Amino acid sequence: MAKPATIKIRLNSTAGTGFFYVTKKNPRNMTEKMVKRKYDPIAKKHVEFKEGKIK
């Protein structure tokens, strides 16, 4: 059986609140770490979220 093309990743807030999003990414097309600007409801503002591993 083939490996799936997408993997689950965790987007951790850089605001230090501990909030995170879980999303998918295709590592064949996007080799660098994912960085997105999204809403952090604990900080109540938009901040950068950086990729981390799901434990």
- 7-52, what's its fold? Rubrerythrin, domain 2 (2.20.28)
Domain positions in the chain are: 7-52
pLDDT, residue 8, reads 94
Backbone angles phi, psi at 53, to 5 degrees: -85, 150
**If you ran DSSP here, which 8-state letter would residue 55 be given?**
-
Burial 26-54 (b: 16+ CB within 10 A, else e): eeeeeeeeeeeeeebeeeeeebebebeee
pLDDT digits (tens, 9 = 90+) for 2-35: 888 999 999 999 999 999 999 999 999 999 999 9
